[in-house]
Amino acid sequence: MSTEVIMPRLGESLVEGTVTKWLRHPDDHIEEFEPLVEINTDKVDTEVPSPATGTVLKLYVAEGETVRAGTLLAVIGEPGEEVPDAPPADREEGATQVAPPKTADQGTPKAGRDGLGFISPVVSRIAAEHNVDLSQVSGTGSGGRITKKDVLAYIEGGRSAAPWEEPGSGELFRPTEEFFGDKPGTVPEPTGLADTVLPLDAVRTQIAEHMVRSRRTSAHVTTLMEADLGRVLAHRKEHKQSFAREGANLTLTAYFVAAAVEALKEVPIVNSSWSEAGIVLHKAANVGVAVSLGEAGLIVPVVKNAEQLSLQAIAKAINDLAERARSHKLVPDEVQGGTFTITNHGVTGSLLATPIIHQPQCAILGIGALQKRAVVIEGLSPSGEPEDSLAIRPMVYLTLTFDHRIIDGGIGDHFLGIVVQRLQSWA
């Protein structure tokens, strides 16, 4: 008797995944629970174990293909058993019976799907040709109808229609696009023999899609401050041992998360998302911490409910998430639901950067490299006269890149000021 391997539903909201690598091939023997296939979803790589012991009879999905949960991936059974040539129709996860066959019509999204309102035939054809998820497109037609113009604008990735409001104070508040120039021109097709094309893997494609969408969605603005980490470093030195005994590797990132969480509590509007209905204020502070995977890209596991955690608990949570991220053991839900993100770009030497907001969040905190710098300390002489002195201090640049649709420059500064204040007064 053969056993079917079905694409699992890997998380609450994850309904599709990409087959990145088959670990067994037709005619290979496999034991139950042995890894059969690597699946990639929303930046998480995970392995799907074999549901039975037997011989791999047939693989239905090629590497690199993205399929919905419930799709038949492979059949495992006795050698020589008959298997269907074409994959049977999709079925729901856990369903025992084959679902009634559907007409093959995957190309054309059906008009009038839930929540989207009327989808015109023209829009539907454009969406099908360009593989557009229409729920991502905002409609400007009457009653919010998605028009041809809307879907074409979405495809072309034109910049958000939201006008840039002049905040009126200083260079800092120029849009990040102005700092970095507009999007690069189209890259020419490789012509010389020396050129090579790196194939776009699922991680790269998803990062690219997310980055471009974010730039198009939010009105990015970056504000910059610096912080003296002297007190944080002293605190860390003092507690590192005791934390280690409790199983927590006390990293600087833990301090930044803790400081950011306090600022989020004081300025809750930063812990929010833009929606057509209004600005959604999130109750929980779920702080994403960007973790580099080297060439394999970047992942942002989320410290959930960070507002309820102590410094030690935060440190532990980060250790655990980062370690599992690097060994591809994260569960998809652990990279979702973030309400604020911190990126410690300083670990690779960067002094300051203007990161891209993790959609649909409001802001991202960028941490530069820790650097000993000479700073002027304002003080008083013993006789009470103003007397400044030079000191060597451990300094770090902090940037807050925020969605100017949601908050104004002053609020961004206020938030970042609290982070600085908290770090500098750590005790």
Instruction: Point out the residues that are catalytic.
Output: 404, 408
Contact between 219 and other proteins per CB under 8 A: no
Q: Does 129 bind other proteins (CB under 8 A)?
A: yes
Answer for which of 2, 3, 66, 120 binds other proteins (CB under 8 A) is 120
- Report, in Å, the least distance between residue 310 CB and other proteins: 51
Work out whether 122 is an interface residue with other proteins (CB under 8 A). yes
The residue within the footprint of other proteins, chosen from 100, 121, 192, 349 (CB under 8 A), is 121
Stretch in the footprint of other proteins (CB under 8 A) among 97-105, 123-131, 226-234, 237-245: 123-131
Rank residues 29 and 130 by Cβ distance to other proteins and give the closer one. Answer: 130
User: With binding defined as CB under 8 A, does residue 400 bind other proteins?
Assistant: no
Can you give the three-state secondary structure of the chain, one letter per residue? Answer: CCEEEECCCCECCECEEEEEEECCCCCCEECCCCEEEEEEECCEEEEEECCCCEEEEEECCCCCCEEECCCEEEEEECCCCCCCCCCCCCCCCCCCCCCCCCCCCCCCCCCCCCCCCCCCHHHHHHHHHHCCCHHHCCCCCHHHCCCHHHHHHHHHCCCCCCCCCCCCCCHHHCCHHHHHCCCCCCCCCCCCCCCCCCCCCHHHHHHHHHHHHHHHHCCEEEEEEEEECHHHHHHHHHHHHHHHHCCCCCCHHHHHHHHHHHHHHHCHHHCEEEECCEEEECCCCCEEECEECHHHCEECCEECCHHHCCHHHHHHHHHHHHHHHHCCCCCHHHHCCCCEEEECHHHHCCCCCCCCCCCCECEEEEECCCEEEEEEEEEECCCCCEEEEEEEEEEEEEEEEEECCCCCHHHHHHHHHHHHHHHHCCC
**Closer residue to other proteins (CB): 118 or 179:** 118
> Residue 241, interface with other proteins (CB under 8 A)?
no
Residue placing its CB nearer to other proteins in the complex, 137 or 285: 137
Distance in Å, CB of 278 to other proteins, minimum: 18
Residue 191 makes contact with other proteins by CB under 8 A: no
CB of 139 to other proteins, least distance (A): 12
Quote the least distance from Cβ 140 to other proteins, whole Å: 9
125 or 328, CB closer to other proteins? Answer: 125
Report if residue 275 touches other proteins, rule: CB under 8 A.
no
Among 113, 148, 237, 265, binds other proteins (CB under 8 A): 148
Which residues contact other proteins by CB under 8 A?
Answer: 118, 120-123, 125-126, 129, 142, 147-148
